[in-house]
Structure 1
């Protein structure tokens, strides 16, 4: 561990989907937080959180959850983070660390900074881990093992802020993650390439297949080869979360989508004109990328730890 545990006396988690519940599991399993409070806007989710024993306190409001907390994690869809932060801003104690787990950083950083008082430390974050599952039952402590967490700190050099950034990094390290620091706008461009565009492609391919009149939906499901099955797994991800990601990171996504469209047109021409050498060169280059992903230990978004689901 990077530091003596517990790292935080009270951890507040706002939103309890896959990531929020996995943070709770991880903090409980490692002892990274002495007390865990969770708030979710859904009464049904709050009831399930209590049944699963994910928290020491299942709060009725976000303000109640963050009261006394020295680490607050917003794990809601990205467009809901600003509203959630405003709802509990006056209850945040001075010196608390406020972070998030959203896949978009520039817009979220702005929303958090505007919503919370200057007396707290805003350190946006993004764990690059997940499955297509959602809800309180989806979480497991090992989700972050050997996965990257990117922090996008503010441009501050004061000792108190730098210490807060390091404490948050230590928290993620305790949960098994590797931590990287990055500029927020660069993060959004990188994630547009590695996550957002692939999800957009998956949603579109599965939607196209479902809409085809010549091939029935039953045939699509029955005869799906491995590649299409992979696309359906990605396309099963939480629709609210991904709607918000595309709307809040639209500039970076549209930039990468434009480049992708140009490359797709070039690929179409190569197929049309029988340019086998061009196809072979592309497939060879992309094969090497795949080998690099495997070598980096990032070949699976859901590592198999023989975990148990809640419930």
Structure 2
């Protein structure tokens, strides 16, 4: 009889068990090759109580310092604007050789805020990650074990990140079912500005536009909403605090993409105004081609 191989981590800590954090816990709870012991930490008593009820962690803590003391890996799953604040709390309590990660969808400002903290703790490896997966729901009940299946997880390791730590985080996300790629923080933020942040900005805005219409027309919008508008409202149902932080922390890349979009939208409007069928058809065909590419790449 052969011994079972040791898990990737002895103790894995998730700070902020919302959609992403609770999905990590669910996957790791179902696959004990990931971690022998799972710890969830949250400042909200209601969230802690619900995580305990769901049974997706072996321990639930209110104090992040107590939660991380024996951790081999700590993943911070809080809004972007709070990541460095949480890191400042837990870094002094983490043991040498442990790995600190986070799952924010903006990296440049996070790295700028983290750099002075990390310089004081050279024995802690910092490996930022961004799983490109999610829904419009939030909280511990929103998570599910297959959330990351066949989705991309983008890693943005700082220069000098120890190879074993990077390998561990890569393996973690592969065990979550994700496809993993490394890139710089600057490239990450520009990519996410167009594929994620701008679509959310447009969804919030178009729903606001509909809500600002005269009462009679607004009621008809809500009564007769077609699939296109319903798709926008699904995105617009996302967590306000999280998206406020994303917009403000990735403002330069997002505003650049917004300017490009406005120029393209105005060009499309001009084509409609002047009856330029070639431009209209070309834009529609390009959209269809992108949709087909997403389906072929298993991202739709």
Paired position in structure 2 for 1:193:
194
1:11-160 to 2 correspondences below 5 Å: 11-31=12-32, 32-116=34-118, 117-156=121-160
Deviates more, 1:89-98 or 1:214-223: 214-223
Q: Is the 1:17–1:75 contact (alpha carbons within 8 Å) kept by the matching residues of 2? A: yes
User: SS at 1:155's partner residue?
Assistant: coil
RMSD: 1.2
Q: Is the 1:70–1:97 contact (alpha carbons within 8 Å) kept by the matching residues of 2? A: yes
Gaps of 5+ in 1: 300-311
How far is 1:122 from its partner?
Answer: 0.5
| Aligned-partner Cα distance in 1 for 2:44–2:221 | 35
Residue 237 of structure 2 is aligned to residue 236 of structure 1: yes
| Aligned-partner Cα distance in 1 for 2:115–2:51 | 29
Higher relative CO (Cα under 8 Å, sequence separation at least 6) belongs to 1
| Aligned-partner Cα distance in 1 for 2:6–2:196 | 33
Normalization by structure 1: what TM-score? Answer: 0.92
Residue 165 of structure 2 is aligned to residue 164 of structure 1: yes
How far is 1:51 from its partner?
Answer: 1.1
Post-superposition Cα deviations, 1:149-171, rounded to whole Å, max 9, x if no partner, equal: 000011127xxx01100111001
| Aligned-partner Cα distance in 2 for 1:211–1:11 | 46
Q: Is the 1:97–1:123 contact (alpha carbons within 8 Å) kept by the matching residues of 2? A: yes
Q: Is the 1:148–1:180 contact (alpha carbons within 8 Å) kept by the matching residues of 2? A: yes
| Aligned-partner Cα distance in 1 for 2:195–2:216 | 31
Q: Is the 1:13–1:72 contact (alpha carbons within 8 Å) kept by the matching residues of 2? A: yes
The number of residues matched between the two structures is 293
| Aligned-partner Cα distance in 1 for 2:239–2:216 | 26
Residue 206 of structure 2 is aligned to residue 205 of structure 1: yes
How far is 1:217 from its partner?
Answer: 3.5
Paired position in structure 1 for 2:184:
183
Gaps of 5+ in 2: none
User: SS at 1:99's partner residue?
Assistant: strand
Post-superposition Cα deviations, 1:78-110, rounded to whole Å, max 9, x if no partner, equal: 001111111122111111111111100111123
| Aligned-partner Cα distance in 2 for 1:258–1:277 | 24
Deviates more, 1:205-214 or 1:234-243: 205-214
| Aligned-partner Cα distance in 2 for 1:5–1:242 | 38
How far is 1:55 from its partner?
Answer: 1.1
Structure 1 segments (4+ residues) deviating >4 Å: none
Q: Is the 1:101–1:124 contact (alpha carbons within 8 Å) kept by the matching residues of 2? A: yes
How far is 1:214 from its partner?
Answer: 5.8
User: SS at 1:72's partner residue?
Assistant: strand
Q: Is the 1:149–1:172 contact (alpha carbons within 8 Å) kept by the matching residues of 2? A: yes
Normalization by structure 2: what TM-score? Answer: 0.95
Paired position in structure 2 for 1:305:
none
User: SS at 1:37's partner residue?
Assistant: strand
